[in-house]
Amino acid sequence: MKWGSTPSQTVGPYLSLGLPWEDGPFVVPEGTEGAVWIRGVVYDGAGDPVPDALIETWQADPDGGFDHPDDPRGHGGPEFRGFGRCPTDGAGAYRICTVLPGAVPAENGALQAPHLDVSVFARGLLHRVVTRIYFEDQDNSGDAVLASVPEDRRETLLARRTDEGYRFDVHLQGEGETVFFAV
Amino acid sequence: MATPTHLRLPRYRSDPDGTHPPLDFPGYRSTALRHPKQPLVLLPQRLTEVTGPLLGPGRIGELDNDLTRGQAGEPQGQRIIVTGRLLDGDGRPIRNSLVEIWQANAGGRYRHIGDRWPSPIDPNFDGLGRTLTDDNGRYEFTTIKPGAYPWKNHDNAWRPAHIHFSVFGSAFTQRLVTQMYFPDDPLFSQDPIFTSIPDEKARERMISRFDLERTEPEWALAFQFDIVVRGREQSVFEDEEDDE
C-alpha cells in the first residue's frame, strides 16, 4: 500500500522558536583544520534582506563520502556532521562553518564537483526551495548539474572566495535569481 | 578513496501533483516577493540527495518532548498528548529520527519578539519540543492545545490552531516542514496556508485525529498525527543508462 505524503507548509514568521540550535552553523567544530566560513544574505524580490529564513546545508566530507547507510564508502569521522543549519538574522545574514567537500561520484565513473545541497525555508515560502553551493576556485568542469543549468544563470550557484572562506547570497526572486532545483 | 562504479542507490518517488502547495500563492501575500519566478531545474537524485543527516540522541534532553514541564509552573490551557508515526510512502517506519515542533500558547500567542497581538504570554510555556522516533517510527509529545491567532494577511484573518512539525526522514529528498491541525476547525476555509494545498485529500492529511484511547483520565486529551515522507522506488544501479 502506498501512503500519500504529508503536504509541506511554511515555517511561518516564528521559526526561530523551534529550529535554531546553538551549534547549528557548525558542520565541523571551529578551528578544524581547513575550516572555512560560508556567509551570505537571503534577499527577496524587492532586493530586501529576508530576516525570517533558515538555511540548511548537507554535504560530503573532504573525501567525498557521506555518513549514511546508503553510502557504504565511509565518512570523515565523528566531528564531521555533514549538516549545517542557520537562521537569518535581522540583516538577512547566515553563516556556516565547514570544510570543503570532496568530489562526489556520479554515474559511469564521472565525478560531481564539490558542492553543498541547500534548503531554504522562510515565512512566505510554502515549501522549501533547494539550491546548491559550488565554489568558484574549485574544478567545476564536467559537473553534470552545473552543465544542466542555463549558462547565464550558472554563476548564481558559485560561492565567491573571501578572506575567511566564501560568500554565497540567495536571491529568492528577481534580478540574479538563484537557480533552484526540483528534487 | 576509490571511486565506486556500481554504487547501489535508492531513488525517491515524486509526490503526485497537488500534494504540496505552489510557491506562488497570491492568497498568502508573503509569497509575492519570495517565490522564484524562473522554472525549477531538475536535480537528478545522486548521492547527496539520497543521503541526509541522521541526527541522533545526543541532541535530545530528557524533558524535551514534554512542553508542559521544565518551567517554574504549569502552563495555562488544555493539556494534550500528541502521538504518531513517521513513515515513508510505503508505510515503513523511519527510526531514531529527529522530530521538532514549535507552537503558540493556549491563547494563540507565540513567545517571540515579533508576536505583539494583545493575548498574554504564558511565562510557563515556551512552545518548543524535540524528540526522536522509536524503533517503530513513533513519537510522542505532551503539550498544550494551541489557540488560533489573528494575522494581517487579509481582513479579519485568523490562523487555525496548529503545531509546526519539522522532520528529516533519512534522505535530503525527504526533508519536510509541515503544520498539524486539529479536527473540525471552522477557520480552515478562510486560511490561505491550509487551502494552498490543491488536493483536498492531501489537506486532510494535515489534520490530526482525536484519539480517545490515548487520552489520560483526569489528565489530558490526545490527538494522533502520522507524518508521511516520500517513499522509495525500487533500487537501481546508479550507472544504469536510464538514470536521468
Nearest to A13 among B114, B231, B240 (CB): B114
Mutate to test the interface with B, among A2, A6, A104, A118 (most CBs of B within 10 A): A6
Q: How far is CA B32 from CA A69, B86, B153, B190, in A?
A: 40, 32, 12, 19
- Is ipTM strictly over 0.90? yes
Mutate to test the interface with A, among B13, B28, B38, B48 (most CBs of A within 10 A): B48
> Domain ranges in chain A?
14-171
Q: The C-alpha cell of A54 is what? A: 533558515
- Assess A70–B contact: CB distance below 8 Å, yes or no: yes
Give start and end residues of each alpha helix (H) in chain B.
Answer: 47-50, 192-195, 200-204
Whether the pLDDT of residue B67 is over 90: the answer is yes
pLDDT at A1 over 50: yes
* CA R_g for chain A: 16
Instruction: Answer yes or no: do A9 and B177 touch at CB < 8 A.
Output: yes
Cα nearest neighbour of A27 on chain B: B53
For the record, the C-alpha cell of A112 comes out as 560531481
Instruction: Kindly report, residue by residue over A141-156, the tens digit of the pLDDT.
Output: 999 999 999 999 999 9
Radius of gyration of chain B (CA): 20
> Would you say residue B243 has pLDDT above 90?
no
Count the neighbouring beta carbons within 10 Å of the beta carbon of residue A146.
Answer: 19
Q: How many CA atoms lie within 13 A of B26 on its CB side?
A: 0
Question: Distances in Å between the alpha carbon of B40 and those of A120, A133, A179, B58, B76?
Answer: 14, 16, 7, 36, 45
Mean pLDDT to the nearest integer, B94-117:
96
**Does A9 contact B21 at a Cβ distance shorter than 8 Å?**
yes
Q: Answer whether A7's CB lies under 8 Å from B206's CB.
A: yes
A64 vs A72 pLDDT, higher one: A64
Chain A CB contacts of B3 below 8 Å? 105, 109, 111
By C-alpha distance, the chain A residue nearest B8 is A70
State the DSSP code for B72.
S
Q: Do B51 and A68 touch (CB under 8 A)?
A: yes
Chain A nearest-CA distance from B140, in A, is: 17
What average pLDDT score do residues B25-47 get?
Answer: 97
pLDDT reported for residue A76: 65
Q: A90 pairs with which residues across the strands?
A: none
For residue A73, name the pLDDT band (cuts at 50, 70, 90). confident
Is the CB of residue A173 less than 8 Å away from at least one CB of chain B? yes
| Domain at A14-171, CATH class | mainly beta
Residues 9-48 of A with CB under 8 A from B: 9-19, 21, 44-46, 48
**In this predicted model, what pLDDT tens digit does every residue of B200-239 receive, in sequence order?**
999 999 999 999 999 999 999 999 999 999 999 865 544 4
Inter-chain residue contact B110 with A14, CB threshold 8 Å? yes
On whether the CB atoms of residues B74 and B35 are closer than 8 A, the answer is no
Rounded to 5 degrees, what angle do the CA atoms B157, B160, B165 make? 125
**Cell numbers at residue A89, please?**
538574522
Q: How far apart are the first and last CA of chain B?
A: 25
Q: Is A114 helix (H, G, I), strand (E, B) or coil?
A: coil
pLDDT in tens, B119-175: 999 999 999 999 999 999 999 999 999 999 999 999 999 999 999 999 999 999 999
Cβ within 8 Å of residue B13, ≥6 positions away? B89, B230, B231, B232, B233
Confidence band (pLDDT; 50, 70, 90) for B59?
A: confident
Q: Given pLDDT bands bounded at 50, 70 and 90, which one contains residue B244?
A: very low
pLDDT at B240 > cutoff 70: no
